[in-house]
Amino acid sequence: MKRLFVAIGASLALGSFAYTPSAKADPCSALLCMAGEPNAGPGCAGYVSEFFAIQIWGISGFKPAATARARQGFLNSCPGSESNQAVIERIIATYGTLIAAP
């Protein structure tokens, strides 16, 4: 019986995970680049990739709403993001739930 609980616990631990942006991720640059999508310049490729790398997965698969919240939280971590909420909301409405860049 103890093995069953260990197996269930391991499955739950492995079945639900989230991406955390790396320490080098710059939310302000990502915000600027995502605001310019789909026409962001080549210098934005890394920041756009960082944004789309934020994905929430669970036992049932990809979780679009949770991914959008995590991406919004990342963009909101840029100092001064309060004054750019309309831009952030547009970015999240357009790209928040996508698995990869269009």
Q: What are phi and psi of 37, to 5 degrees?
A: -65, 145
pTM: 0.76
Q: How far apart are CA 100 and CA 19, in angstroms?
A: 14
Q: What is the mean pLDDT of the chain?
A: 82
Residue 4 has pLDDT above 70, yes or no: no
Structure confidence at residue 97 (pLDDT) = 97
Structure confidence at residue 83 (pLDDT) = 93
Contact 63, 71 (CB under 8 A): no
Spatial strand order of the sheet with 17-18 comes to 17-18, 56-58, 61-62
Residues of the chain above pLDDT 90, percent: 64
Residue 79 has pLDDT above 90, yes or no: yes
Residue 20 has pLDDT above 70, yes or no: no
47-78 confidence digits (pLDDT tens):
999 999 999 999 999 999 999 999 999 999 99
